Structure formats: structure tokens, C-alpha cells
Structure 1
């Protein structure tokens, strides 16, 4: 196989959540444990930080990795989903895993994958852990894929567990209340491993306190203890929450030398160090074009608040979402005084532009539908004057198509 054939095989062979949704979610970790044993348990050969939560876990993971890079460590970073290339998911000091390594891993273990019917995500986690172990990273920052308790990454015993916040997302899998979702996210808390909770949410803090107490884990709420918040090159105003969480996480990390100067530099150089994209990213200045991957109520609330602070003559919004989103929850967040360009992200879970337009009309969000995200984006830019603003969002996958 070529590299692209290997990646296509992984996507097509077995369930992958970003394509299929709930049917791809596994109910236990037995497959991942079996794969780890077969690979001679690479997850035991490097230190790690485990990052979960509903919103901000990707940005927080990149911030932590950037700080540790600035401190001079060799840092692995595992995140999902990717925006443009599969190799974005697995990085060391900001450099993506070489395509040759991906191809070699798939070719070497394809028979085992087929025999045990491993999912795309299980294979990818195995690949990341195997790569970090072989490259002898000093530490790896591992982002949870979905949930926590049953996520394939949850076979590690990290130095610190991090949970950014809790919101109503993936409710058909994780539960339809904040308490149920918090219980799933709390599944990454390990015995005697310090846990950092990014935001104290009064109605669910007891879930984390009880779990931490049960496992004798020191628990810290970042929003309570971090007083000095440094600037970051990630521009979204919502990043201030993630900055606090990242600072608190590295402060709870034992055996690594990280001072305040290193923290400050790391936060100022996240995009340079880790190559993170799609978070309140400015793509053009005339007209101004901004994209953001926020896709649920909590994330979009912050993004729409920031959008209100922008100055522009006319606002154009390129919108595309996936079909399992609660539209009645997210559409009211969007401004009515904008022209909308409705489109379908190019994946099986993408919601049709026709349905999105119809549902949006109920909330007085008006515009036309387009056959693709790119067509919608091209039209929005074409009709905009230099003083206008074009915002692209609604889904990670919508943003990915215009980057």
C-alpha cells in the first residue's frame, strides 16, 4: 500500500466516529488493552499527561505541550480529529509523524487489526503510543478522543489528569445530563494521580470531588488557584480558561523543571511550537475572514460573544454542522443580522445544507444553501467588501475544508 491507501484503509475498514457517530463507539477497553499487550505495552515506556473535557481539551493539550517544549523536553502530542492530514494527530515537538512510519505501522500489524476487528481510533492510539515509545519522548500529552472512561486513550497512567470543563455534547453516547457526562469524563482520574479540573461548575463539582477522594487523588480546580494569567498567541477570548488549566497542569507535574518564564514563552508560542490551527484563526484581513472549530453550545457561546465585539460593515457566516447536533440549542446563539451560506461538511455525518437552511429559518437566520463548504466560502468572500467580516464555523470539519 501507499501511505494514502493505508490511511484510507484505516478509515474504511472499521468504524470511525467522525464518519459514523454513535455506532463507532466501543463499550469497553478490551480491544485497546489487547492491542497494547500485542505491541508490548508502549504506553508504559513514556510519561504522560491525560487531557479530557467537553471544550478546550485540544487547545489545552497544545498549550501544555508548548510549555514543556519551551522547557527543553522532547514532547509527544496526540490529538483528534485532524483538520487536513491524518499525521496531525501524532506529533513530537510540533513535527507530525512521518508518513513512512504510518505506512510501516499499518503494514506490520494489518493482520492483527483485521483478526481483532479494531476500530480506526484504537489503531491510531496504538500507533501514537508505539511511536512515542520508540522515539523515547520525555513526556506525551494525550488528548481524550470522546468521553473518558471508555476512551481508547484511557489505558495510560499519567503524571497528571486534566479535565477542562463539562458541557452537553455527544449526549447520545455519554448521557443527557451534565452529571452523567461528568461521570464519564471523571473516568480518566487514576489512583494517586493528581487531577486538575479547569472550570469549577457548582452543580457537578461533587462528581469530581467524590471520584478523586475515592482514588486518593489530589484535586485542584484551576479556576480557583491560578491568579496570574499570561497572554497566548491563540486569539480567542475563551482561551483564558484554557490558559489557567494549562498553567495549573504543569504546576502539578512533578519531576519536570518548568518556571514562570518558560510558561510565559510556551503560551506565547503555541502556534509556532505545536502548529495548532482553527482556533479563532484569522485567514484574511480584507475582507476579514475568521474561522473557529467550536461546535457545541458552550464553545459557540464564547465564540459568538467574541464575534459581537468585532467591527464590520456586513457579517457573512459560512455554516456547516454534523447531523447529531442539537440545532435548537446552537442556532439561537448565532446573530440574526448576518447573511448565511449553508453547506454540508464532506463526511457521512454531515447535515444536508437544505435541512440546515430550513431549521435555521426558524431562528431567523437567513441565506442560501450551497453544494459544498468551499462553494459557500467562495461566494461569501466574493460578495464581501473590504469592511465586511466572513466567519466560518459550526463544525471542525467545516473549518477543515477551507483551511
Structure 2
């Protein structure tokens, strides 16, 4: 098989959560363990950092990988889902996994796939671990796919665990309370391995404390470690001045990820960096500064308050759940514009009522859907939106919706595309 045929095989033969939803989610680590056992347990052959959370784990993973890379470490990065290219999931020092490796890996693993019947995510995790082991990476930053305790990535014993935050998402799989969701995410906490908690609330703190106590894992809270003194933002950068609450030092950083929701991710990353330093990792101030300033170019991250066009301003953001949309709307309120246009689509297993109830009624709406079976039908979404006084037209795909928005918008208007990672993935270059 060539590369295209190999991807078709993976997409068509294996249950895929991003397309099918809950039916593709395996609540068990058995398949991943079986696959990795056939590969010689590659997950035991490299050091790792494990990151879970409802929101922010993608940005946190990429920025931390960028810092490690600038510090001179050969750094693997496993994230999901991808936007444009499957190989975005598996990178080393920002370089995509090679097509040849994927072709050879799938060909080699076909008998095991037939025997074990893994999901798409399970085989992808095994593939990433195998790639990192063969390349002899110094460290790999591993982002969970969904949850933590039963996530396929949770067969590693990392140097450090990170949980960015807990919010309402995937309740059909993770639980209907914040405590239950936190319990699933806390499943990545390992025996004697330090854990950094990005954001904590009254409901989740006891869950983390209990999980860490049971595992004798030192626990560190980012919000206790650092305070944001001030910040300035453009559409392409975020300048932040932080106070280290422990030693009183003040540091300034510039991020190339400009969303203000990156403030929480930044203090999480710096708390994690401090823990890694205590373990002997050589992470200089310059590596931290350079990594944060160039995370997008170093790692290839997209879709986080990403500027796609000016006059009118077009922003793409992967916000898709209550917490993400709330943060996005806070960001929008800080912007100056004449009229707000929102291109919006969701997937079926999110709660459209909850998210739609948050959206502003004074925006122009363009309802659409991603080209995946899991997408919520745009016509249905448009009808539900009317109950929340959100009025707009329906479009077959995101590019038709975005084209209509740009035709309607004046130069000083703001267009935001959001609601689904898969919607952002289908945006074509704007000319």
C-alpha cells in the first residue's frame, strides 16, 4: 500500500472516535497493551510527560514541547486529533512522522490488527510510541485523547503528569459531575510521580488530593505558584508579566499563541518546567523564552485564536465546549470591531443547548457542519439556535459559510469560526 491507501485502511477498518463518537471509544487499556507488547513495549523505552485536561492540553503540550526542543532535547510530541494531516499527531522536534514509517508500521501490524481489533486511536498510540522509541527521543510529550484513566496513552510511566483543568465535556463517557470527570483525568497520576494541576475548583481539588495521596505523588498547583501581573495582546502575540509567588521574581514572556486563555496554560507550563528542573532537566531561561515565543513555528500548532485574514479580521478557534466557548467569548469582548460574525458548527455528542445559550444574540450567524458522520446537521443546529434568539443562514460546509460571512462583513468587522475542531480542520486558505 502507498501512504494514501494506508490512511484509507486505517480510517475504514478501525473504529474512529472523531467520526463515530462513543461507539469507537474503548474503555479498556487491554488492546493498547497487547499492541505494544507485540512491538517490544516501546512505551518503556523513552522518557515522557503526560498531559490531560478538558481544555488547554493541546496548547500546553505544544508549548512544553517547544521549550524542551529549544533546550536541546530530541522531543517527541503526540497529540490528537489532527487538523489537516494525520502525521500532525506524531512529531519529533516539530517534524511530522514520515509517510514511510506509517506505511511500514501498518503493513507490519496488519496481522495484529486483525487479531486484536483495536480502535483507530489505539493503533495510533502504539504507532507513536513505536516511532519515538525507534528514533531514540530524549523525551516525548504525550497528550491524552479522552479522559485519562482508561485513555490508551495511560500505559506510560512519565517523569511528570499534568492536568490542565476540568470542565463539562464528554459527559456520556466520563461522568455527569465535575468530580467524576476529574476522577477520570486523575487516572494519569502515577505512583511517586509529581503531578501539576493547572486550574482547580472546589469540586475537583479533593479528587486530585485524594488521587495524589493514594499514589504518594507530590502535587503542585500552578495557580499557587504564579500570578499574572499584567498582559498585552495583539492578534498574533500575547505579552505577559508574571510573579513567581515562591521567590518574588518577576518574569516577562511573549507567546505566539495570542489567546488570553493561554495565561492559564502559561502558568501551568512554568510550574511544570520548575518540577522538571528539580528532576535535573536542563531548561534555561532562554530556552523557556524562545520556546514560548516560537511554539507555533517550532511545533506546527494551529487553530488557537488563529488569525487567518485581515480586513475583515478572520479568527479560527477550536473552542467547542462550555469552558472553551466561555473563554473564547471573553477574548472576543476584548476586541474592537463594528459587527461580530460567527461561523458555527458542532458535533452530535456535545450539548448544543448549553453552548448556544452562551453565544451573543447581537452577532450574525452562519451555521454549518463538518464533513464527518459525527457532525450535527447544520439545519438542525439552525433550528435549535432560534430558541436562543441566534439567527442566521445554513451552509453545507465551513468554506461556503466563511465565504458568505466575508461577503457580508465590512473591513472593521470580526469573523470568528468555532464550535468544532473538525470544522476548523476543513477551512481552506483564504485568498
Interval of TM-score (by shorter of Structure 1 and Structure 2) = over 0.9
Q: In the alignment, is residue 265 of structure 1 matched against residue 271 of structure 2?
A: no
Once the two structures are superposed, residues 193-238 of structure 1 have per-residue CA deviations (whole angstroms, 9 ceiling, x without a partner) of: 0000001212210101111111110000111112436331101000
Structure 1: segments with no counterpart, 5+ residues? none
C-alpha contact 2:87 2:96 (8 A) present in aligned 1: yes
1:346 aligns with 2:367: no
Q: Does 1:295 align with 2:303?
A: no
**Deviation sequence 1:234-293 (CA, Å, 0-9, x none):** 010000000111111121112310122221221111111111000000000111100100
Q: How does 1:160-239 map to 2 (within 5 A)?
A: 160-227=160-227, 228=242, 230-239=253-262
1:8 is paired with a residue of what secondary structure?
helix
Q: Determine the C-alpha separation between the residues in 1 that align with 2:110 and 2:74.
A: 29
Does the CA-based 8 Å contact 2:346-2:352 persist in structure 1? no
Tell me the equivalent position of 2:263: 240
Q: Secondary structure at the match of 1:54?
A: coil
Question: Aligned match of 1:280 in 305, 316, 319?
Answer: 305
Match of 1:79 in 2: 79
How far, CA to CA, are the matches of 2:341 and 2:15 in structure 1? 36
Q: CA deviation at 1:7?
A: 1.0
Residue 56 of structure 1 is matched in structure 2 by: 56
Q: Give the match's secondary structure for 2:254.
A: coil
Q: Aligned residue for 1:157? A: 157
CA–CA distance in structure 1, aligned partners of residues 54 and 254 of structure 2: 23
Deviates most, 208-217 or 330-339: 330-339
Instruction: Please state how far the C-alpha of 1:390 moved relative to its aligned partner.
Output: 1.1
Which residue of the partner structure matches residue 363 of structure 1? 388
Aligned: 1:398 with 2:423? yes
Tell me, what secondary structure is at the counterpart of 1:231? strand
Equivalent position of 2:272 in the other structure: 249
Q: CA deviation digits over 1:26-46, x for unaligned, max 9?
A: 121111111111000001110
Can you give the 5+ residue segments of structure 2 that lack an aligned partner in the other structure?
228-241, 243-250
Partner residue of 2:414 out of 357, 367, 389: 389
* Residue 315 (str. 1) matches residue 340 (str. 2): yes
Taking the aligned partners of 1:383 and 1:204, their CA distance within structure 2 comes to 44
Aligned partner of residue 9 in structure 2, secondary structure: helix
Aligned length in residues: 403
